[in-house]
Chains A and B, each alone.
Chain A
Amino acid sequence: MQESAAVHAFESEHEATSTGLPSTKLAMWIFLASDVLLFGALITSYVVYRGRSVVGPYPNDVFDIPYTSVSSFVLLASSLTMVLALSSIQRGDLPRMRLWLLATALLGMTFVGGQVYEFTTFYEEGLSLTTNLFGTTFYVLTGFHGTHVAIGILMLLSVFSLSFGGRVTQRDSLTVELVGLYWHFVDIVWIVIFTVVYLVPTGP
């Protein structure tokens, strides 16, 4: 422990910032604020075009709300395992952090897998990217979100693998926290998308 303290003494000296927040954390917050606008514009595009498709299939023809509710629950559950991963590393419990990180990634993969299955089903039911406005806006919005989740999974698995090489230790809990911030953000965005796209009725 003393040895690693010496290694990090230099870095912590540089961590004295004007706001007291670590620079990486501040950067992540500003990036996420920026990403809010990205999803804002995408969701706006979806909402503006709701109910304006001139040919089917329409949302009511393809949506399977119980199915998507389950996969939404899986994604939201992954926020819990993410919190557990962070709390493990903050306590210095590396094996448990690995376990929870892997659980988070697996839940995320389940969600993305579910999305792939959903897309395939919709496609077989005749809804492609170019069928109508609903297909266009639906696939682009949920696809952007799915890509965000996939990037998150990549980050989780990267931290997971790096932890075996000694690159992730109790002192690097900030790294896990940053991945967590991103992960929770992607989850929260899904709550909005799920509500706006699936739950709010479009009418006839």
Chain B
Amino acid sequence: MASVSVPSEGVSRGLFRRPTATTGLWSWLTTVDHKKIGILYGVTSFAFFIVGGSEALLIRLQLAQPNQELLSPSVYNEVFTMHGITMVFLVVMPLSAAFINYLIPLMIGARDVAFPRLNAFSYWAFLFGGIFVYSSWFLGGAPNGGWFGYAPNAVLDPTRGMTFYAIGLLMTGVASTVSAVNLAVTILNMRAPGMTLFRMPVFVWMSLVVQFLLAFSLPIISVALFELLFDKRFGTHFFDSVAGGDPVLWQHLFWLFGHPEVYILVLPAMGIVSEILPVFSRKPLFGYQFVVFSGIAIGFIGFGVWVHHMYAVGLGPIANTAFGISTIIIAVPTGVKIFNWLGTMWKGDLTFPTPMLFSIGFVSMFIIGGLSGVTHSVVPSDYQQTDTYYVVAHFHYVLFGGAIFGLFAGMFYWWPKAFGRKLSEGLGKVTFWTMLVGFNLTFGPMHILGLQGMPRRIQTYPEELGLTFYNLVSTVGAFTIAVSVALFLVNVAMTHRKPRGEAADPWDARTLEWLTTSPPPEHNFDEIPTVHALDEAWHRKYAETEGGAVVPVPAGGSGLEAEYTGAHAIHMPSPSYYPLIASLGLFVFGYGVIFSWLLAGAGAVVLLAGLYGWALEPSAE
């Protein structure tokens, strides 16, 4: 049996000593703490938000007046493509990931995610994927085929732009797949005692649905991107109609991913709003289980509606009708949620701080976007709208009016938790109203432009078409949004000059993350809370009398407060170099596929070395 026992020196052998820095640059490069990774996701995606927003401003400047030549047609193609890729893959997805990373372990009462190093790897692979796509500007031209990169245009384009698109999105896809597995396991496996599935906050539920949507939709676009890459780089015939291939295959694979992706973008924001509305209505969420089941239903039905992006392709009346019906059906669970949010606010004791304003902004703008979405489900109507600005108006109402408003609500709401300082309320409210006005000025007129027949992705338009006025309004609106984002940044800068010291629970909130300090310690909770009810934190603070009146529980009266028993060591995972090394290998490998097999080999070696170092790393020094 001697061979079975563990030699003690075998346990702590690694290539390097594990890093130990807890402050400074190295601590950020090697961190595996979900809160730091969440903040990294947030900062990075906000930086991309500013870049993508600047691209939007360029587009609006170009379209402000007829017959302008500010951007040449080919540059215009690159700018709108990069705007779309940036906002979808490098802003809304990772900004949602910032909230999911930061909040999930806190909300389910865990110390970290299930696989902290994988979490770090996901962040670095996402960052490198974003840098990879953007580096194309300097290496022969940016992607120019639209964010959905339709074949055969994407294949036949002579520049390397769409090759960068394929490889860059494959990298962010690896990041998201790894993260999806990690976070799904975290939610299913790391819940605090008593935290049953139906005691989880709605945000956690929506995040869980999103992780499964990612896990099941990303492989499909990965295959599509591989096929595009092979067609471009190795001369295969996947989308080559001369050889018998079918460009429509790309559309099917893309939208089979692309429609679940829409819900990947908006479900986290729906979760955020479902947390905020009850707090500032001082009522529990109306119909918690309905909201949860609607989210799950959206997850399932989301895989069965993709052809509504392809009505004009000509798949025939039966396919179009079937997908028209499934599209009308998916509006139902979304509508259910809207009514639940309204029901939550109904007869509530409403207050209107900035997070609440953004949440109400989310609900109302999302209704507009949802309704224009229903008009798309009607096939004959959609024929008129396909590839016009009406579509642009629709998806900005759901993705900006929806997702971005929801994410801003979340930033204002959880800022005190993450940084120990509240963002300025006065400036916050100005930000909200400026953004709301700017948003509607920008995208409202696009409905009219679209119905007047203005096509998407057109570099300019002649004056005689009579599109000038609304285009100018839209441009003014876009710059108004830019002002609101600038105000937000001023707010952040001012707030971070104030000292920390926000209370643990400044909003009188309902979920577990408010039980710990602001900001939380590295180990999140001194004592893992035991959960007895949905809205656990609320029930520790308030009780109901026999008459149904809500009364505060005196401090310590609930008997449920976490008692810090003091000196017992809480073991947290040590930082690690390997996630960064492995993702760096992936990054180099990506360039290698385009430029040189030698480089690809070097990247693969670094990636493998990173993975082996990772696997052999001791759990702590």
Contact = CB atoms under 8 A, between A and B. Distances in A.
A34 B1 contact: no
Interface in B436-481: none
A170 B4 contact: yes
B222 interface: yes
Contacts of A54: 242-244
B4 A92 contact: yes
B114 A23 contact: yes
The residue among B114, B230, B234, B243 with the most chain A CB atoms within 10 A of its own CB is: B243
Given A30-B215, A45-B223, A18 B190 contact: yes
A9 interface: no
B573 to A, nearest CB: 11
A37 B244 contact: no
Contacts of A31: 177, 181, 215
Contact of B249 (A18, A45, A92): A45
Interface stretch (B6-14, B86-94, B312-320, B346-354): B6-14
Interface string A15-38: 001110101001100110111011
A135 to B, nearest CB: 8
A18 B230 CA distance: 43
Contacts of A1: 1, 4-5
Interface stretch (A64-72, A101-109, A125-133): A125-133
B189 A41 contact: no
Contacts of A129: 230, 234-236
Contacts, number: 133
Contact of A27 (B5, B185, B244, B249): B185
Contact of A30 (B3, B181, B191, B246): B181
A137 B249 CA distance: 13
Contact of A165 (B10, B115, B189): B10
B393 interface: no
A30 B185 contact: yes
Contact of B223 (A19, A38, A169): A38
A170 B4 CA distance: 7
B610 to A, nearest CB: 14
Contact of A34 (B5, B216, B243): B216
Interface string A120-157: 00000000011011001100100000000000000000
B589 to A, nearest CB: 14
A136 B238 contact: yes
B551 interface: no
Contacts of B182: 27
Nearest to A175: B615
B189 A23 contact: yes
Interface string B204-223: 00000000000111111011
Contact of A130 (B11, B184, B236): B236
A94 interface: yes
Given A54-B244, A158-B615, A166-B7, A18 B188 contact: yes
Interface residues of A, number: 44
Given A48-B249, A132-B237, A7 B244 contact: no
Contacts of B58: none
A3 B6 contact: yes
Contacts of B40: none
Interface string A34-50: 11011011100100110
Interface in B211-270: 215-220, 222-224, 226-227, 230, 234-238, 242-246, 249, 253, 256
Contact of B189 (A18, A132, A158): A18
B580 interface: no
A34 B4 contact: no
Nearest to A7: B6
A94 B4 contact: yes
B216 A140 contact: no
A34 B220 CA distance: 9
Given A17-B189, A30-B185, A53-B244, A4 B6 contact: yes
B253 A4 contact: no
A10 B573 CA distance: 13
Interface in A76-115: 92, 94
A189 to B, nearest CB: 13
Contacts of B217: 37
B195 interface: yes
A38 B222 contact: yes
A173 B342 CA distance: 52
Contact of A7 (B3, B11, B220, B616): B11
B249 A133 contact: no
A108 B215 CA distance: 27
B414 to A, nearest CB: 24
Nearest to A41: B223
A165 B235 CA distance: 46
A23 B119 CA distance: 14
B77 to A, nearest CB: 27
A33 B219 CA distance: 10
B190 A37 contact: no
Interface string B185-209: 1001111000100000000000000
Given A18-B195, A30-B184, A41-B220, A136 B237 contact: yes
Contacts of A37: 216-217, 219-220
Contacts of A53: 243-244
Interface string B1-41: 10111111011010000000000000000000000000000
Contacts of B13: 165
A1 B242 CA distance: 68
Nearest to B231: A136
A35 B195 contact: no
B356 interface: no
A130 B230 CA distance: 10
A133 B244 contact: yes
B219 A41 contact: yes
Q: Which of A4, A10, A92 is packed against the most chain B CB atoms within 10 Å?
A: A4
B227 A140 contact: yes
B606 interface: no
Interface of A: 1, 3-4, 7, 10, 17-19, 21, 23, 26-27, 30-31, 33-35, 37-38, 40-42, 45, 48-49, 52-54, 92, 94, 129-130, 132-133, 136-137, 140, 158, 162, 165-167, 169-170
The 10 closest A-B pairs by CB, nearest first: A38-B219, A41-B223, A17-B189, A37-B219, A136-B236, A166-B10, A52-B244, A34-B215, A4-B6, A18-B191
Given A52-B244, A132-B243, 19 more contacts: A1-B5, A3-B5, A7-B8, A31-B181, A34-B219, A37-B217, A41-B223, A41-B224, A41-B256, A53-B244, A54-B242, A54-B243, A129-B230, A130-B237, A132-B237, A133-B244, A136-B245, A137-B238, A169-B5
21 contacts: A4-B6, A7-B6, A7-B11, A18-B189, A23-B115, A26-B188, A27-B114, A30-B180, A31-B177, A37-B219, A40-B220, A41-B220, A45-B249, A48-B249, A94-B4, A130-B235, A132-B243, A133-B245, A140-B226, A169-B5, A169-B6
